[in-house]
Chain A
Amino acid sequence: MKEDAAKICRRLLDSREVDGVLGLEMVGNIPTPKVFAQADDLGRFEVEPVFPIVTLLRNIWPFTGKERIALVVRGCHELAIKELAKREIVDLKRIHMVGMACSEEQARTCRCLRPYPTKTDIGTKVKGVEDELAKSLRKMTLEERGRFWEEQFKKCNKCYGCSENCPVCVCEDCALEDCAFVRTEGIPPSKAFHIIRAYHVADKCIECGECERSCPVAIPLRSLQRMLADDIKELFGYQAGMDDRQSPVVTTLEDAPLKEESE
């Protein structure tokens, strides 16, 4: 797949359709982020590892000036870019997305329902995979679910990996670092950490799974996000990344009605 990707990116660079390609380069056997400015540099271009490429794009974006950037995106990355573009945090006009489908194994690991972008330039589309954990959590009673998450959150060591690597979690001055909401001392942090994180990304989460992938103690955050995505679909008929409208949580009831009894 990386050869196909490199070929496409080489063409984009040679024709000056883009000024740089954001991607991974193998340095030894470590995939390392790089902006490839010359087609000749694409020798060790790598695309296989699932990587928070959009988080990276977002971080370098203020330094890209007027330059056009290409990057290889999976299904989730495409949606993340869309959510960021909605908020004008990145500019779609300067982004060229090379669509890549995920492998079966990748889809399974992510429990991803849409392991391919709208336009797939590389790879073959595979079927989506249900999140069995999320499904079983739904079937539990409130108390059982509560005990499950309590056990999980006990492991948390407040590394902030989940929020740092999340593509749509954008604030530098993060509420989770505000001692008013999350006490500075102590591990594990209170439930406030997890509730506020999930609440903040809820209307933007495109279920890329970076949060879970980043977690050193394997808290199944992906499944929580799956449940929340279902909730938002039910409450507002809205799906982040797939919807061109503004977040339903910041608009009026006329723009985005609450699909529950209101008063």
Chain B
Amino acid sequence: MPEFEPRILAFCCNWCSYAGADLAGVSRLQMPPNIHIIRVMCSGNVKPEYVVKSLVEGVDGVLVLGCHIGDCHYISGNHRTIKRFALLERLMDDLGIDKRRIRVDWVSASEGEKFQKVVSEFVAQVKSLGPNDIRRDAA
């Protein structure tokens, strides 16, 4: 049986994490081909509803990557990101849903290596969780 290859979505903010991902590319840092990046201007633009929808409809894992706290290009967009997702994670815990399919992290424009690390770690993590079967309960 072929090994399970997770399909992972990553929201990256234009100024930090997307640029960090670019730097990882420029530096030819190799990583597993499971992640697909959607570019947003700020991680604050990412509604938890997008992440919920993605997971409910079969994406195996979702990464939300923004600027480090204090470095947000738009001052405090990432403050909202971390608070929203902290709340979402608690809610998922309360409902007995594994929150390890979501990861919020901070990658600056100069952190190509961190980007590689986060991606590799998260892919391995999601692989170990197996295919997303939350959609079993859906209509």
- Judged by CB atoms under 8 Å, the answer to whether A and B touch is yes
Known contacts A175-B49, A191-B56, A199-B48, A235 near B94 by CB under 8 Å = no
Chain A 183-223 interface residues, beta-carbon cutoff 8 Å to B: 183, 185-192, 194-196, 198-199, 202-203
Question: Which residue of chain A has the shortest Cβ distance to B77 in the bound complex?
Answer: A252
Which stretch (A56-64, A99-107, A137-145) binds chain B? A137-145
Cβ distance A211 to chain B, nearest Cβ, rounded Å: 15
Binding site of B, secondary structure by majority: helix, strand, loop or mixed?
A: helix
| Chain B positions 23 through 44: 1 when the CB is less than 8 Å from some CB of chain A, otherwise 0 | 0000000000000000000000
0 or 1 for each of B75-112: is its CB under 8 Å from A? (1 = yes):
01001101110111011111111100000001000000
Contacts of A140 in B (CB 8 A): 96
Q: Does B52 contact A (CB under 8 A)?
A: yes
CA distance A101 to B98 in the complex (A): 40
The CA-CA distance from A32 to B61 in the complex, in Å, is 49
CA distance in complex: A51, B82 (Å): 37
- Contact among A154, A181, A263 with B52 in the assembled complex (CB-CB below 8 Å): A181
Question: Roughly how many angstroms separate A249 CA and B82 CA in the complex, as a whole number?
Answer: 9
Per-residue B-contact encoding for A140-172, CB less than 8 Å = 1, 0 else: 101111111110011000000000000000000
Task: Kindly state whether residue A15 has any CB partner on chain B within 8 Å.
Answer: no
Range of interface residues on A (Cβ < 8 Å): 35 or more
A183 x B139 contact (CB < 8 A): yes
| A137, closest chain B residue (CB) | B94
For residue B129, CB closer than 8 A to chain A, the reply is no
Residues of A with C-beta under 8 A to B87: 199, 202-203, 231-232, 235, 249
Please tell me the number of chain B residues within 8 Å of chain A, measured between CB atoms: 32
Say whether, besides A187-B139, A235-B86, A142 and B69 are in contact (CB < 8 Å): no
Bound-complex Cα distance A227 to B90 (A) = 9
B68 at the interface (CB under 8 A from A): yes
5 contacts between A and B (CB under 8 A): A153-B137, A175-B49, A191-B97, A224-B94, A258-B86
Contact residues of B with A, CB < 8 Å?
48-49, 52-53, 56-57, 68-69, 76, 79-80, 82-84, 86-88, 90-98, 106, 134-135, 137-139
Leading 4 A-B pairs by shortest Cβ distance: A186-B139, A146-B96, A145-B96, A190-B138
15 further A-B pairs in the complex, CB-CB below 8 A; given A180-B53, A195-B52: A143-B96, A145-B94, A149-B95, A150-B96, A150-B137, A186-B139, A187-B139, A231-B91, A231-B94, A232-B87, A235-B86, A249-B87, A253-B79, A258-B86, A263-B68
